[in-house]
Structures are given as C-alpha cells and as structure tokens.
C-alpha cells in the first residue's frame, strides 16, 4: 500500500494525473472546490495504489507526494 | 519511504502557469537534475521573456532575468566570469530562442559556449496571447494566422536542433517531449546529460523540449498532449541531433 499526499489548494484540476494512473484510481472531486476555484484531484481507493508515482510525474504543478 | 516529492531546487511558490501547461513539468525536471548532481548552490539560471519569465520565482538557485532572447549572451558572461565554479543554464521559449534571440542562440552554439540551454518549443508565443512563432506548424491556426500558417506567405517553421547540428561548435543537441510518463523519463535523462556535459567541460548542450500550450492551442490539457503526438512530433522528430563525445567514442 502506498500513501499519496496532495497539496490540494495548489491543484488546478487539469486532470493529467487522472489519465496517468495505470490503475484508474484518481478523479477530480466534483463536490469540492479549492482556493484556486478548481475541482481538486483525489484518490478513490488508496489501498489499491501501488505507489508507481506516474500521477506525480505527470502533474505539472508538482503537488503530489508519494510514499511507499 | 518517500518515492516522489517536489525537488529541493524548487521552492514552495505555486506556478502561475495555466492548468495542464507542461512548463511546470520541465521546471521540475531541471530542478531534479540540480538536486541529483548536487549543484543547486553554484547554479545560476537565466530566465527568458515569455510565459516562463517568472521562472526566477520558482527555482531555489540564483536566477537572472534576461532581456527578450538575450539569455545565451547573459549566460556567456556569467559562465566566463568563473568557469570553474558557475553552472549556468538558460530556460527559453521558442519565441525567445528562435525568433528575437536567434542570433544569440546560433553564436553561443558556434562558440561552443560551455552552458546548458533548455529550449521549450510549444510552437506559439504563449505569454502574449498566441501569436504565430517561427516554430508554428504549417497550417497552424494562431492569433496572427487565423486561416492557418500559410508557408507561401510566412515561410516554414525552423527546426532548431537540425539547424544547429550543421555547426561545428555545439557539443550536444537532443529533442525530447514530456507528453507521457515514458517521455518524461527520457527528457530527464537528456537534461541531466546536458548539465553533466557542462560539469565535464564539454561545451554547448541544448535540449529542445516539445511542450504544450493548451490555452493558446485552444484545447484541453489532454487534447494538447495528444496534439504533440499527432502534429508536433511528425514535424519535430525526437532524437539526438549531435553528440560529439559519443561520436568520438565510436570512431576510437
Ligand atoms: C523586446 C521585446 N519584444 C517583444 C516582446 C513581447 N513578447 C513577450 S513574450 C513574447 C514571446 C514569448 O513566446 P515564447 O518565447 O515562445 O514563450 P512562451 O510564452 O510560449 O513560453 C513576446 C514577443 C517583449 N517582451 N520584448
Ligand atoms: S501512485 Fe501510481 S497507482 Fe497510485 S494513484 Fe498514482 S499513478 Fe495511480
Ligand atoms: S495533475 Fe496535478 S494539478 Fe492537475 S489535477 Fe492532478 S494533482 Fe491537480
Ligand atoms: S499561455 Fe500556454 S505556455 Fe503560457 S502558461 Fe498558459 S498554457 Fe502555458
Ligand atoms: Mg512558445
């Protein structure tokens, strides 16, 4: 199991991390709005995350920390 | 165990770039290389005019802001003032490097100036609202080519790596892109080599990074990454255009 930490208020809701996850574990939270007025990315099933960091590597704003 | 985090050479300032703009990925790769080579403390970056004009706000190393297109000239002075200690890179867009700054680019390459150039080619003037650049593709719709770039009227886009490869001077020229995890890994390797070359005293090393501008291309960040594959890469093929040291090794 891996642990993801998002700097949620820096997220621009671009969705590039969502497409990058090979396990399709990420989504933009339609029910949340951050300080930048975007729907921030969130993980749906952290237990299924393998910690590959593909999402973090694709994030243009470098806001995802991955621990394993 | 932390397997991924923001590199030390980037500070905590949020990027001002548009959502999904790949400038941010390229900043991070440069910073990761500064971390890995342990050179943040003696590196001086030269920022351009363009969307990345405020790159100096994001990097933890020293930064200088150059007049439009003049980054390689500033870099030359900074490097020559203390060649043993200074590690110098420029970070430039295609309008900056291939239009107003073309003379500085060509002559720094011809002199084999021992600097590292990160060239962000997004085929457009991003900052000023999407005008045609010397790198805009044939047929590409921009603010100043609303019917698509007409090569009979505006000429053909310039392939910077191929053009500089004709010069005797430069050490290393490679074109990469950052539109997938796999391509990001390859881009990082090229950027690291471009800095290592400088540490080894080998000379002018330029990495052209084919980048996206979702805002001025008028598409989503996802569509822009695909547009790189479908439209940019056929005109701007990825690869090593010059690697003098590797070529020498082969002929030994
Ligand atoms: C001497 C001068 N001429 C023109 C400009 C206007 N200008 C600002 S940015 C820019 C082009 C930026 O395009 P590029 O280098 O491709 O960077 P991008 O924004 O696409 O990353 C221009 C022409 C200027 N600032 N200074
Ligand atoms: S670390 Fe890998 S598996 Fe986990 S969310 Fe990110 S891309 Fe998906
Ligand atoms: S890639 Fe980064 S900025 Fe974009 S949605 Fe994902 S976490 Fe947010
Ligand atoms: S205008 Fe284009 S290049 Fe500039 S920050 Fe926005 S997406 Fe990036
Ligand atoms: Mg540009």
pLDDT tens per residue across span B33-42: 999 999 999 9
Digit-coded pLDDT (tens) for B193-229 = 999 999 999 999 999 999 999 999 999 999 999 999 9
What's the CA gap between B184 and B180, in Å, rounded? 6
Structure tokens at B217: 């291309």
What's the CA gap between B65 and B176, in Å, rounded? 25
pLDDT band at B250 (very low <50, low <70, confident <90, very high): confident
Closest Cβ–Cβ partner in A15, A54, A60 for B25: A60
Digit-coded pLDDT (tens) for B77-121 = 999 999 999 999 999 999 999 999 999 999 999 999 999 999 999
Atom of ligand 1 nearest to the CA of B96: 15
Say if the Cβ atoms of B222 and A64 lie within 8 Å: no
CATH architecture of A3-67: 2-Layer Sandwich (3.30)
How far, in Å, are B121, B133, B193 from residue B187 at the CA level?
13, 23, 10
Report the DSSP pairing between strands A3-6 and A64-67: antiparallel
Say if the Cβ atoms of A65 and B4 lie within 8 Å: yes
Looking at beta carbons, which residues of chain A come within 8 Å of B59?
A: none
Digit-coded pLDDT (tens) for B20-33 = 999 999 999 999 99
Residue of A nearest to B223 (CA): A16
Model confidence, pTM: 0.98
Query: Which H/E stretch holds residue B116?
Result: strand B116-121
Say if the Cβ atoms of A67 and B3 lie within 8 Å: yes
Residue B78 near residue B108 (C-beta atoms within 8 A): no
Digit-coded pLDDT (tens) for A4-28 = 999 999 999 999 999 999 999 999 9
Q: What is the DSSP string of B149-218?
A: --HHHH-PPP-HHHHHTTSSS-SEEEEEE-SSHHHHHHHHHHHHHHHHHHHTT---EEEEEE---HHHHT
A15, A39, A41, A62: best to mutate for the B interface, most B CBs within 10 A? A62
How far, in Å, are B56, B194, B227 from residue B240 at the CA level?
29, 12, 22
B251 CA from centroid of ligand 2 (Å): 44
Looking at beta carbons, which residues of chain B come within 8 Å of A8?
A: none
| CB contacts < 8 A (A, B) | 71
Residue B76 near residue B113 (C-beta atoms within 8 A): yes
Q: The domain B23-251 is classified under which CATH number: 3.20.20.70, 3.60.15.10, 3.40.50.970, 3.30.2290.10?
A: 3.40.50.970
Q: Which residue has the tokens 């990082």?
A: B188
Domain ranges in chain A are: 3-67
Name the residue of A6, A27, A55, A59 to mutate for ligand 2: max ligand atoms within 8 A of Cβ: A55
How many residues are given for chain A?
A: 68
Residue of A nearest to B18 (CA): A12
**Residue B10: CB partners within 8 Å, gap ≥ 6?**
A62, B27, B28, B31, B58, B59, B60
Say if the Cβ atoms of A67 and B225 lie within 8 Å: no
pLDDT band at B160 (very low <50, low <70, confident <90, very high): very high
The average pLDDT across A44-51 equals 96
DSSP one-letter code for B49: S
Closest Cβ–Cβ partner in B19, B23, B27 for A14: B19
**Residue A46: CB partners within 8 Å, gap ≥ 6?**
A1, A2, A3, A4, A25
The average pLDDT across B129-158 equals 98
pLDDT band at B251 (very low <50, low <70, confident <90, very high): confident
* pLDDT tops 80 at residue B63: yes
Determine what percent of chain A is predicted with pLDDT higher than 70. 100
């Amino acid at each position: 199991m891996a642990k993801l930490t998002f700097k949620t208020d820096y997220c621009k809701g671009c969705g590039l991390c969502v497409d990058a996850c090979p396990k399709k574990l990420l989504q933009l939270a339609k029910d949340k709005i951050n300080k930048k007025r975007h729907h921030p990315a969130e993980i749906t099933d952290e237990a299924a995350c393998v910690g590959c960091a593909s999402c973090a590597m694709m994030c243009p704003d470098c806001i995802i920390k991955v621990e394993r | 165990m932390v397997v991924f985090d923001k590199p030390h050479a980037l500070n905590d300032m949020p990027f001002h770039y548009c959502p999904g703009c790949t400038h941010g990925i390229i900043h991070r790769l440069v910073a990761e290389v500064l971390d890995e080579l342990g050179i943040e403390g003696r590196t001086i970056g030269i920022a351009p005019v363009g969307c990345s004009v405020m790159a100096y706000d994001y990097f933890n190393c020293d930064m200088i802001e150059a007049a439009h297109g003049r980054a390689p000239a500033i870099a030359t002075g900074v490097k020559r003032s203390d060649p043993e200690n200074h590690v110098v890179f420029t970070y430039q867009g295609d309008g900056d490097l291939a239009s107003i700054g073309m003379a500085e680019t060509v002559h720094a390459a011809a002199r084999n100036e021992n600097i590292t150039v990160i060239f962000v080619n997004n085929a457009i003037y991003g900052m000023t609202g999407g005008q045609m650049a010397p790198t805009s593709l044939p047929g590409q719709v921009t603010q100043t080519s609303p019917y698509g770039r007409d090569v009979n009227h505006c000429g053909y886009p310039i392939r910077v790596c191929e053009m500089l490869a004709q010069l005797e001077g430069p050490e290393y020229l490679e074109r990469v892109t950052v539109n997938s995890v796999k391509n990001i890994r390859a881009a990082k390797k090229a950027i690291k080599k471009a800095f290592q070359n400088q540490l080894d005293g080998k000379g002018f090393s330029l990495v052209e990074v084919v980048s996206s501008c979702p805002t001025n291309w008028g598409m989503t960040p996802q569509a822009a990454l695909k547009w790189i594959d479908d439209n940019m890469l056929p005109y701007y093929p990825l690869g090593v255009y010059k690697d003098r040291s590797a070529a020498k090794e082969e002929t030994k």
